[in-house]
Amino acid sequence: MTERTQREERRQRWERRAEWPLVASALLFLVAYALPISWPEAPSWVPVLCGITLTAVWIVFGLDYVARLVLSFDRRSFIRENLLDLATLVLPLLRPLRLLRLVTLLSVLNRTGSGRLRGQVVTYMAGGAILLVVSGGLALTDAERGQPGSTIDSVGDGLWWAVVTVTTVGYGDTYPVTTVGRIIAVGLMIGGIAVLGLVTATLASWLVERVTESNDAERAASRSQVAELGAELRELRALVERGAPCDHGEEPPAAPSPPAR
């Protein structure tokens, strides 16, 4: 076994073992991130505790990234393939994107779900859309609440705006006024287009498969009929060659003898 294979196997073992702890950390991150936004009247210790939790989870994600980097054989390739992970660790503005770690939960559930590619796509699409709306709505509310000219003052407003943006409905009476809010809006718009594209592609793939299955069934039935006709023709030919009657293999009735004189 080569060194590259050994290193990659160790990294894969680490990723499998860290999968569920990272999912739990991501869920904890979501709760700690959402609580101060959805409960602005909370006691002063609540935001402090949530901030400590967010920092602790961020450190956990950082340790996971460093461990995977150290265990990788080609570290440059690892960095290129995990630029989003690196960006969410380095750029404080993108730290809420660590909620995308919940995609690991989708991969775990996918093992017990459909093994077909379309089932996996639907799972990722549904989970990704929910995460996109929830995290986008929370981040937008946090950025827009209390800003001059903003009409987004509650989590309900933020989630509603995230839904209409992701679905490309886009009511014009509510829009972000801050720079951070508009950056979040751009991300939601791009995500919404991607989700709709996946929905369209999945539906088209399902329709094509149904038509293909129907055509295959018709072709199979035609081949079966042709095979049956060929078998009957071969049987008739064999009977003719033997000089036997061909009325289902039965002897014809004897002609009546003439009456005696």
pTM: 0.66
Q: How far is CA 237 from the centre of its chain?
A: 59
Tokens of 236: 């008739």
Tokens of 203: 């539906």
pLDDT band with cut points at 50, 70 and 90 for residue 113: very low
* CB contact set of 130 (below 8 Å; sequence gap of 6+): none
pLDDT of residue 45: 93
Task: Read off the pLDDT of residues 60-91 as tens digits, 9 standing for 90 and up.
Answer: 888 988 998 998 888 888 888 888 778 777 76
* CB contact set of 244 (below 8 Å; sequence gap of 6+): none
pLDDT of residue 52: 93
Domain range annotation of the chain:
1-100
Task: Read off the pLDDT of residues 87-97 as tens digits, 9 standing for 90 and up.
Answer: 777 765 555 55
